[in-house]
């Protein structure tokens, strides 16, 4: 597991990354992960275990009872959890983004302090926040046009609409919703998942990341208070610098980095468990076979490279976060965070899918056994990487370097 710097100390209710308790918790999550994937079992118990261990508050300052982790240290934890079970790690993606939003807002002028923040209090209580942003339809992804709407009804508001790709919401206490307001603004609204009119449908049928709750969420005349609306952004407002989109995208590569660790450990176990090779092979002892040694060495190097570029990009996000002034980061540092995250994706997507395929070459035909479930690594990596095309990322990076064009600015890039 990843070692976290010694300056992180035990906060009330938060397990210390790298501690014996932390390692035991991750081991318990890893136990049965493959079986849960095979059986399509939702990891409710595993999410509850992380909730009880204070994982939702890892980024909050120790002064209010959080773990005090930097963004890089948080990503190291995400990689650890993804190694144990990438399904469980993925479920918390929007939660950590929401926490990051609260920390950003905490630097705004006139902010009353984290200790007085309603949402921070709920996070410290172990509440989990899910996601309802994406919608099906003909509108281009990332254009901030939503069919989900907030309308006024007397002295109250009503929320109506349907979302898809609602990752984590099935396991969450609250859901973060993006909705149109009178065709003039987009609002971020937080409502309890058990509020009247909220319907969560577990209908995601992807080949990978199957039990992340990435399905449909419907809102039928859901009552919304002014306090539930955390932001309103006019549609004609000029975009402000942001590192939040980079955070959301890099999270996916934290997941892939954790999966690649599992690919390596499964590769070692696969070779160690084989009792015979081929008569025309270079060695009767498979652990001495230079071809198999080469393959495992290549897989281990791939995993190391993926994790390294992911954490390097996290450093760039950390720098942007440290520059916050009145809730807005330095424009150059925010752009650098987006660039580093985009470069990480272009590299990691290619090497990761190749590694997950190469794993099978270490075991012969028996590696294809459904019981071994080694295909889950490829399925999960392939599904995660589809969140946005690497070809568009590479093209945008090239255009930026050749022509100084800014990178696209939305949560899907």
User: What pLDDT, in 10s, does the model give residues 367-382?
Assistant: 999 999 999 999 999 9
Q: How many residues does the chain have?
A: 413
pLDDT at 150 over 60: yes
Euclidean distance between CA atoms 98 and 114, whole angstroms: 14
What percent of the chain shows pLDDT beyond 70? 97
Query: Residue 322 has what pLDDT?
Result: 98
If phi > 0 it is left, if psi is from -120 to 50 it is alpha, else beta; for residue 408 that is beta
Query: Residue 275 has what pLDDT?
Result: 74
Query: Residue 409 has what pLDDT?
Result: 86
Tokens of 210: 């199957």
Strands (E), 225-292: 229-234
Query: Residue 364 has what pLDDT?
Result: 80
pLDDT at 125 over 80: yes
pLDDT at 8 over 90: no
Reduced to 3 states, what is the DSSP secondary structure of residue 233? strand
Mean pLDDT of 274-285: 76
Nearest CA to 376 out of 28, 36, 29 is that of 36
Query: Residue 263 has what pLDDT?
Result: 98
For helices 244-272 and 331-358, give the axis angle rounded to 10 degrees.
20
Q: Tell me the pLDDT of the chain averaged across its residues.
A: 92
Reduced to 3 states, what is the DSSP secondary structure of residue 260? helix
If phi > 0 it is left, if psi is from -120 to 50 it is alpha, else beta; for residue 404 that is left
Question: How confident is residue 100, by pLDDT bands cut at 50, 70 and 90?
Answer: very high
Mean pLDDT of 390-395: 95
Instruction: Report yes or no: 346 and 393 within 8 Å, Cβ to Cβ.
Output: yes
Euclidean distance between CA atoms 262 and 131, whole angstroms: 27
pLDDT at 86 over 80: yes
φ/ψ of 188, rounded to 5, equals -100, 120
Contacts of 15 (CB under 8 A, 6+ apart): 21, 22, 25, 53, 54, 55
pLDDT at 5 over 60: no
Tokens of 197: 């009119």
Euclidean distance between CA atoms 320 and 70, whole angstroms: 12
Euclidean distance between CA atoms 106 and 18, whole angstroms: 28
Question: How confident is residue 145, by pLDDT bands cut at 50, 70 and 90?
Answer: confident
Query: Residue 109 has what pLDDT?
Result: 92
Instruction: Report yes or no: 171 and 50 within 8 Å, Cβ to Cβ.
Output: no
Mean pLDDT of 202-231: 95
Query: Residue 87 has what pLDDT?
Result: 98
Instruction: Report yes or no: 112 and 334 within 8 Å, Cβ to Cβ.
Output: no
φ/ψ of 321, rounded to 5, equals -60, -40
Query: Residue 281 has what pLDDT?
Result: 74
pLDDT at 12 over 60: no
- Give the distance from CA 354 to its chain's centroid: 21
- Give the distance from CA 227 to its chain's centroid: 27
Mean pLDDT of 293-319: 97
Residue pLDDT, tens place only, 320-370:
999 999 999 999 999 999 999 999 999 999 999 999 999 999 988 889 999
pLDDT at 1 over 70: no
């Amino acid at each position: 597991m990843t070692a976290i710097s010694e300056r992180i100390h035990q906060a009330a209710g938060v397990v210390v990354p790298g501690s014996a308790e932390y390692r035991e918790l991750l081991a318990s999550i890893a136990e049965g992960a493959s079986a849960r994937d095979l059986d399509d079992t939702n990891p409710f118990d595993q999410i509850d275990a992380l909730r009880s261990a204070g994982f939702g508050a890892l980024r909050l300052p120790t002064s209010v009872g959080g773990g005090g982790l930097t963004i890089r240290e948080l990503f190291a934890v995400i990689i650890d959890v993804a190694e144990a079970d990438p399904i469980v790690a993925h479920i918390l993606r929007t939660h950590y983004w929401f926490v990051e939003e609260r920390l950003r807002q905490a630097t705004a002028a006139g902010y009353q302090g984290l200790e007085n923040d309603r949402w921070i209090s709920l996070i410290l209580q172990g509440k989990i926040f899910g996601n309802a942003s994406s919608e099906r339809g003909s509108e281009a992804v990332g254009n901030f046009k939503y069919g989900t709407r907030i309308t006024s009804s007397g002295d109250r508001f009503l929320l109506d609409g349907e979302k898809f790709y609602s990752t984590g919401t099935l396991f969450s206490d609250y859901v973060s919703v993006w909705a149109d307001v009178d065709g003039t603004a987009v609002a971020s609204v937080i409502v309890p998942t058990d509020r009247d009119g909220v319907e969560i449908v577990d209908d995601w049928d992807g080949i990978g990341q199957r039990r992340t709750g990435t399905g449909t969420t419907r809102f039928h005349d859901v009552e919304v208070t002014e306090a539930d609306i955390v932001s309103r952004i006019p549609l004609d407002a000029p975009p402000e610098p942001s590192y939040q989109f980079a955070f959301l995208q890099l999270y996916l590569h934290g997941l892939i980095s954790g999966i690649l660790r599992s690919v390596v450990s499964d590769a070692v176990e696969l070779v160690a468990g084989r009792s015979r090779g081929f008569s025309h092979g270079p060695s009767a002892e498979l652990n001495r076979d230079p071809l198999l040694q080469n393959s495992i060495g290549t897989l281990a190097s791939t995993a190391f490279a993926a994790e390294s570029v992911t954490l390097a990009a996290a450093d760039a996000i950390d720098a942007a976060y440290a520059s916050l002034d009145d809730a807005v980061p330095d424009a150059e540092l925010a752009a650098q965070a987006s660039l580093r995250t985009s470069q990480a994706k272009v590299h990691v997507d290619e090497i990761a899918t190749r590694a997950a395929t190469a794993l099978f070459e270490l075991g012969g035909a028996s590696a294809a056994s459904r019981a071994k479930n080694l295909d889950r690594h490829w399925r999960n990596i392939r599904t995660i990487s589809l969140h946005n095309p690497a070809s568009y990322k590479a093209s945008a990076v090239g255009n930026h370097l050749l022509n100084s064009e800014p990178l696209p600015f939305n949560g899907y890039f």
